[in-house]
Amino acid sequence: MSTIQQQIQLLREELNNHNYNYYGLDNASISDYDFDIKLKELEKLETENPQYFDANSPTQRVGGEITKNFETVTHKNRMYSLDNSYSKEDLLDWEKRIQKKLGSDDIEYTCELKYDGASINLTFENGKFIKAVTRGDGFQGDDVTTNIRTIKSIPLLPKGDYVTDFEMRGEIILPLDGFHKMNEERVANGEEEYRNPRNTASGSLKLQDSAEVAKRPLDCLLYQVVTDERKYKTHYESLENARIVGFKVPKTIALAKSIDEVFDFVNLWDSKRNELPYETDGVVIKVNDLQQQEELGYTAKAPRWAIAYKFKAEQVSTVLHEITYQVGRTGAITPVANLEPVQLAGTTVKRASLHNADQIEKLDIRINDTVFVEKGGEIIPKIIVVDFTKRSADSELTIYAQNCPECETELIRTEGDAKHYCPNEFGCAPQITGRIQHYISRKAMDIDGLGGETVDLLRKEGLIQNYADLYDLQVEQVIPLERMAEKSAQNMVAGIEKSKEIPFEKVLFALGIRFVGETVAKKLVKHFKSIDNLMTADFETLISVDEIGDRIAQSIIDFSNDLGNIQLIDRLKSHGVQLEVSAESLENQTEKLEGNIFVVSGVFHQLTRNELKKAIEDNGGKVSSSISKKTNYIVAGDNMGPSKLAKAETLGVSIISEQDFIDMIS
């Protein structure tokens, strides 16, 4: 190593140490002036010797790189949502559920404040930071690595002994002091103030110039380590060690032996949250033991081992001026309250959902009423109650809409449905646009270069009336549209063409069959293998599929019997859209385990728990999270819970090893 290279390396190490002391230990070991002098010295050496460039050098935190388009990246490990709770009863119910699944009441919890910012996933390989991706829809997000490098509280090279390859999850926040200072500067410059810290932090991540991001006092509070390395036994231990090596893990995290101790934590911070330097809207409670987390697993949307307790939302009073009605892609009608604008939780609220006719009747809400509004989960505004003391004597009862506000078709409401519907499926503009927007969405066909506004424009211009029409679009047809350049038109058509590669399970979800969400679509695809098999299945065949009930089955039959839908499917087939399971996928699937229910428990060495579960499903078996009389096998790894073992022995369930299972399917 040359003398210059050694000098550069030593300066980098020294500056990283100072960053660690300042942000990780909250103990500055050098003045800001001296730090800046050393940083400039390093910058000069790196400029003169570009062969020694390192993306994780302290000099790279100042930004300067321009990102025109943020690439969409699929998460290696899905970023799930959290289930919410609002009372002690909710938490007690959650505790009962997890105790039942674990077969034990010996559970320790961690309590962490729920930070109000933008979720981020940081990837480290060989102990070095390599990538940062926003949460997005949980399955994929935007690569914002260049901007994240500018946040000084994120260690690019964690110090000390920690796991080697891992993902660190956290929340990008804008501390209140920094937010207020930014607004003071904007006011002084005659600019409009930012509305709230959360939106400002989120918007900062998508700025094209990373030098502008570097100027903002963003911070990153971390809350989860995701790794295949089994170095730590508990969530708390993994975070405490993350703090030691330089990650900013808030010291407010606490252990709790019971729900009563959890509520002590909740009550403490509900009263003290206004003293915090950043915004928080609740507490996240997690099962501390990592093996128990694995045992509990996930629902379709959230981990079973974690829950968010939301603090009581802020409420404000305002006046209802008008009730209007929105039409969704399925024809569902949603009444909307149009309000006198009012400030609520940092944003201006003008509208709130009234959900359905029953809710309007329950609230007895009327035009010109004074109402109290809060943000449900501090996100979606909703009306809580009417202030009847301020109601005028001549107020009139609200009569729910009888006809569709868009196409004037008479609304229907079937027995058991909470909402009214417009039955004009193929002639109602919002339904047409909504179905196509759903079809192109990220979780469905994920078509690049095509957004909701463009879909609406294409429909209004008469170029599309359904999602099959997308595949007939030509570049020359699209170029004349408003705000559409040749390159944009080419990208759109190319994105539509590429969607033909999307697998059948996502296509089925994209079709927008009522009640067929992502999870149901996967189950149907696994069973029927093709759209033809699905659309020719009778009611009894449909309800025989695991977790497919009467309502879903009838919806599929209604879709399959509609001539317009049959024609749409035929057109999609002719365009080469994937409407059956690919031969490649079928190669890896067998029926060896057909009819058998498995429970996976313990720690494994040859396969991960997720790989085991996938292997069971790929070979026709079903995975269950709890042992019952119906369970055929338990695949038992190391440290299987004693209560599960006892229950299995009592019920006479076969217990097999990881190797036994591999032999079973090989």
- Catalytic residue positions, numbered: 114
User: CA distances (Å), 177 to each of 173, 219, 272, 344, 346, in order?
Assistant: 12, 12, 17, 20, 15
- Dist CA 459 CA 428 (whole Å): 12
What is the rounded distance in angstroms from the CA atom of residue 248 to the CA atom of residue 25?
A: 9
* Cα 105 versus chain centre, distance: 30
Helix ranges restricted to H, 297-402: 357-363
- Quote the Cα angle for 84-88-94, to 5°: 55
Q: Which candidate, 233, 84, 248, places its Cα nearest to that of 170?
A: 248
Q: Which of 374, 373, 111, 378 is nearest to 267 (CA)?
A: 111
Alpha carbon 62 to its chain's center = 30
What's CA 333's distance to the chain center, in Å? Answer: 26
Counting other chains too, the contacts that 45-48 makes at CB distance below 8 Å and 24 or more residues apart are: 45/4, 45/7, 45/8, 45/11, 46/8
Which of 10-48 are b and which e, b meaning 16 or more Cβ less than 10 Å from the residue's Cβ? ebbebbbebbbebbbeeeeebeeeebeeebeebbebbee
Asked if residues 625 and 101 have their Cβ atoms less than 8 Å apart, the reply is yes
Q: What is the DSSP letter of 20?
A: I
Q: How far apart are CA 635 and CA 121, in angstroms?
A: 31
How many other β-carbons are positioned within 10 Å of the β-carbon of residue 301?
Answer: 13
Angle at 116 between CA 113 and CA 118, to 5 degrees: 125
* Distance between CA atoms of residues 56 and 58, nearest Å: 6
Residue pointed to by tokens 């330089």: 246
Amino acid identity, position 78: R
Give the helix ranges, DSSP H, for 462-503: 475-478, 486-498
Range list of β-strands (E), 213-314: 219-226, 254-256, 280-287, 306-310
Contact assessment for residue 232 and residue 313, using Cβ atoms and an 8 Å cutoff: no
Element (H, E) at 510: helix 504-510
Q: Which two tokens stand for residue 43?
A: 């910058």
**Residue 224: φ, ψ to 5°:** -160, 140
How is residue 323 written in tokens?
């009730």
* Contact (CB, 8 A) for 87 and 188: no
The Cα 543–Cα 508 span in angstroms is 18
List strand residue ranges (DSSP E) for 75-202, in order. 84-85, 109-115, 118-125, 128-134, 140-142, 166-173
Residue 601, number of CB atoms within 10 A of its CB: 25
Sequence-ordered list of residues with C-beta below 8 angstroms from that of 630, at least 6 positions apart, any chain = 597, 624
Q: Quick one: DSSP state of residue 472?
A: G
Rg, Å, the chain Cα set: 28
**Alpha-carbon gap, residue 635 to 325, rounded angstroms:** 53
